[in-house]
Amino acid sequence: MPHKLLADYLKFVEQAILNCKTAYVERYIEDILTPERVNLRIRIRFQQGHLLEINEAVEVVKIDTLRSKDTLDSADRFRLGSTQSLILATAVKHRLLS
């Protein structure tokens, strides 16, 4: 069972994709590795012919375990009502092809 922050993040991403009316989702895969880690693979084709592919490794970490302020500033993060934890996208790859 994923961490609540992680489950909320995945619901947020899924809802954002569903709201794209001019897009066809070719692939949406959630690999839950641990309750705090997930890999997300998304491939979306748009009516204009563009293709967006996203491969994301996401991890829930406690804020006080981050090594420095720079780490926090440079991270892609998604807060959902918690001051003790955050979701940290540890490796994100985006490709947009036409």
How do residues 24-69 score in pLDDT, each as one tens digit? 999 999 999 998 888 999 999 999 888 989 888 888 776 655 554 4
User: CA 44 to CA 52: how far, in whole Å?
Assistant: 5
Do 86 and 61 form a contact (C-beta atoms < 8 A)? Answer: yes
Do 53 and 95 form a contact (C-beta atoms < 8 A)? Answer: yes
Report domain extents, the chain: 4-97
Max Cα–Cα distance, the chain, nearest Å = 44
User: Domain spanning 4-97 has what CATH number?
Assistant: 3.10.450
Higher pLDDT, 71 or 44: 44
Global pTM exceeds 0.75: no
